[in-house]
Amino acid sequence: MDIVKVALGARAYEVRIGPGLVARAGAEIAPLLKRPKVTIVTEDRVAALHLDALTSALAAEGITSEALVLPPGEATKSWAHLQEVVEGLLAQQVERNDMVVAFGGGVIGDLAGFAAAILRRGVRFVQIPTSLLAQVDSSVGGKTGINSPHGKNLVGAFHQPSLVLADIDVLGTLAPRDFLAGYGEVVKYGGLGSLDFFEWLEAHGPALAEGDRGLRQEAVRRSVQMKADIVARDETEQGDRALLNLGHTFGHALEAATGYSDRLLHGEGVAIGCALAFETSARLGLMSQEAPSRLRAHLAAMGMKRDLADIPGDLPGVDGLMALMAQDKKVEAGRLRFILARAIGAAFVADGVDLGVVRGVLEDGLAGR
Ligand code: GLY
């Protein structure tokens, strides 16, 4: 097992990464509990595959558990389901010192974490992320929340988990498309902060996608280590943490444009968004023209979407996409902020980007459809 520490003083915690962690969850969680009782928040698909294993692992350590099982999918990150979870936790008589267990992908982690943040003004929670995306990104760093009709993740709170258990074995039950969407976030880490990691992914990405568990564990460990280092420097995104949003300004606009549907999964939007951010950087003369081509070549080698042309169905025109980007949380004083890069592994936060160049990148991308 690998352990990555998220060094946040009184809110510090460990991310434990390895095989068999769901089966050992009781032993991992027991030392944190004030009484041997937890409430699990999960969703139908994860429950069908893994809930028995989790409840047995808890019971083996004498921990009783109840589960709130929600529908799968992004639409669950809503006011209505937040209310359902909060009221469900209260009905379970979850107390201030109890532990909530978020057991699922990014949707469940964000929703259950936010419910924990506001229940009785804050109860502790453990993240057991079951998707690659949640293991490398959303379960670590304490961003929790729901979507609003105005946009994604616009309502939420920073609330750090007490522990994260990333079980590499559960990745084996993901559909290939979901696994690769999560891989979009893994590539993001190489793109934003480490050419060395990007080169490692170029060498090992295909074997990792095929199922090599050792390589999967190493990819999760390196991604989480990079995220933990950034979060420890800038927990509430006053500066460097925004680097983790490489590809997200474009990606969120594309997700909104496709109605948060399975036309485009979040990680797919991030991968295309990284390619668009690199292309913008190259056109601004910040990075060589080879860098976006190299990123896109790796995404192609992995069988991933990398261009606007790869998104099925209609998309809005350039004006529509620019308007969707203006709803981004990184808008400051009405100005869009982008994460651009000087090279693969050298991203930076850019204010005052020439929007004409961004429009040109989108126009050319749309023309290729
Ligand atoms: N997913 C970006 C962040 O946690 O800051």
Backbone angles phi and psi of 357, in degrees to 5: -70, -40
For a pocket test of ligand 1, which of 114, 226, 245 has the largest count of ligand atoms closer than 8 A to its C-beta? 245
Q: How many angstroms separate the CA atoms of 141 and 157, rounded?
A: 11
pLDDT value, residue 330 = 60
Looking at 152, 188, 222, 241, which residue is catalytic?
A: 241
Q: Which atom of ligand 1 is nearest to the CA of 241?
A: 5
Q: Average per-residue pLDDT in the chain?
A: 96
Distance 367 CA to ligand 1 centre (A): 31
Identify the CA nearest to 129 among candidates 224, 260, 239.
Answer: 224
Decide if 248 is catalytic. Answer: yes
Looking at 121, 150, 210, 332, which residue is catalytic?
A: 121
Q: Which atom of ligand 1 is nearest to the CA of 231?
A: 5
Q: Across residues 123-141, what is the average pLDDT?
A: 98
Report DSSP letters for 239-259, one per residue: SGGGGGGTTHHHHHHHHHHTT
pLDDT value, residue 329 = 59
Q: How many angstroms separate the CA atoms of 78 and 82, rounded?
A: 6
CA-nearest residue, atom 2 of ligand 1: 244
- The answer on pLDDT for 260 being more than 90 is no
pLDDT value, residue 178 = 96
129 class by beta-carbon count within 10 Å (0-12 exposed, 13-18 middle, 19+ buried): buried
pLDDT value, residue 287 = 97
pLDDT value, residue 332 = 64
- The answer on pLDDT for 27 being more than 90 is yes
Distance 235 CA to ligand 1 centre (A): 10
Q: Which atom of ligand 1 is nearest to the CA of 141?
A: 4
Q: How many angstroms separate the CA atoms of 278 and 250, rounded?
A: 11
pLDDT digits (tens, 9 = 90+) for 225-240: 999 999 999 999 999 9
Provide CB contacts within 8 A for 88, sequence distance 6+. Answer: 39, 68
Q: Residues 275, 352: contact at Cβ < 8 Å?
A: no
For a pLDDT cut of 70, what percent of the chain falls above it? 98
Residue with tokens 């259950």: 112
Count CB-CB contacts under 10 A for residue 289.
12
Looking at 43, 185, 268, 279, which residue is catalytic?
A: 185
Ligand 1 pocket, Cβ-based, cut-off 6 angstroms: 137, 141, 143, 241, 244-245
Identify which has the larger pLDDT, 333 or 365. 365
Decide if 305 is catalytic. Answer: no
For a pocket test of ligand 1, which of 137, 226, 229, 238 has the largest count of ligand atoms closer than 8 A to its C-beta? 137
Provide CB contacts within 8 A for 289, sequence distance 6+. Answer: 282
- The answer on pLDDT for 327 being more than 90 is no
pLDDT digits (tens, 9 = 90+) for 280-307: 999 999 999 999 999 999 999 999 999 9
Q: Across residues 21-42, what is the average pLDDT?
A: 98
For a pocket test of ligand 1, which of 8, 77, 132, 138 has the largest count of ligand atoms closer than 8 A to its C-beta? 138
Which ranges of the chain would DSSP assign to H, the alpha helix? 25-29, 44-46, 52-59, 79-91, 106-118, 132-133, 176-193, 195-210, 213-233, 248-257, 266-283, 290-301, 318-325, 355-367
pLDDT digits (tens, 9 = 90+) for 59-101: 999 999 999 999 998 889 999 999 999 999 999 999 999 999 9
The number of residues making up the chain comes to 369
pLDDT digits (tens, 9 = 90+) for 160-199: 999 999 999 999 999 999 999 999 999 999 999 999 999 9
